[in-house]
Amino acid sequence: MLATAATAATAATVATGVLLGATATATADHGAAPHRVAGPEDRLPDLQMEPLSDHRVQILEGRRVLRFTAVIANRGDGALELVGSRTSTSTPRMSVVQRIDQRGGGRESVPTDAVMTYAVDDNHSHWHLQHAAEYRLRVPGEEHPRVAHKEGFCLIDDERLPGASSGEAAEPAVYDGCEEGLTETRSVTQGISVGWGDPYSFDVWGQWIDLTGLSLPGRYCLEATADPRGLLAETDTGNNTTSALVDLTSNGVKVVDTRC
């Protein structure tokens, strides 16, 4: 399971081509990675966040939170495949290479500024791609969110996407885990195949936004973005975000509109 909005620098390149790897101006967890413009042989993924569902307000560990289910989807031309590696088990983070399908066959490995770490404090117990997704809650019309919550996830093929084309639906599931329990491993492969999604149920750790300090009842815009930092190569970074306009009370939520 795993997601961020593309950086301004990445978005500015859309007119001239898709960047492979993070841009030099992106906020990175380690040194800037090499990048190049996508070529005609590259079959890139297209990460999208499916419409949110299962909205509810609950009390969690003494805090009032907004919970919801999110699904990270790949509706692109190629698989999202990420390989994390480290030279020593004493290094807590893995560098990440994205392996990009080629139209003539095979894959090309491209460095990124993404990292993977082992999740030990969130009841997941496997390797996560950091900043895989970001959740935000803001007042409609305001540019900056009142609450932002970033999440790392293990990306896998967990459910076939509704409405996938015949070509997409024909692609078999490939990615099914992130080395659960293997804290000493030095390599992890994870990803999402074409026509597949990775759902995160409302009751999974991290699937919430803390409502402490917010005015209730109130109307808010809830947003979820896959690959918010634009660390991964894909065909379109403009469709990574989904939103919902919601009315929140101290004990419930009503979806007013499926976008805001």
Strand stretches in the chain, DSSP E? 19-20, 36-37, 42-43, 47-49, 53-60, 63-74, 80-85, 93-102, 107-118, 127-138, 147-153, 159-160, 187-192, 196-200, 208-210, 218-226, 241-248, 253-257
How many angstroms separate the Cα of 15 from the Cα of each of 9, 61, 151, 235? 12, 47, 29, 12
Instruction: For the chain, report the end-to-end CA distance as a whole number of angstroms.
Output: 25
Q: What is the pLDDT of residues 162-212, one digit of tens each?
A: 875 544 455 789 999 898 889 899 999 999 999 999 999 999 888 999 999
Structure tokens at 216: 């209730």
Instruction: Give the number of residues written for the chain.
Output: 260
Q: Using an 8 Å Cβ cutoff, are 188 and 114 in contact?
A: no
Rounded CA-CA distance 117/95 in Å is: 9
202 exposure class (CB count in 10 Å sphere: 0-12, 13-18, 19+): middle
pTM: 0.83
pLDDT at 35: 53
Residue ranges in the chain modelled with pLDDT below 70: 1-37, 121-123, 164-170
The phi, psi pair for 169, rounded to 5°, reads -65, -25
Give the residues across from 147 on adjacent strands.
Answer: 137
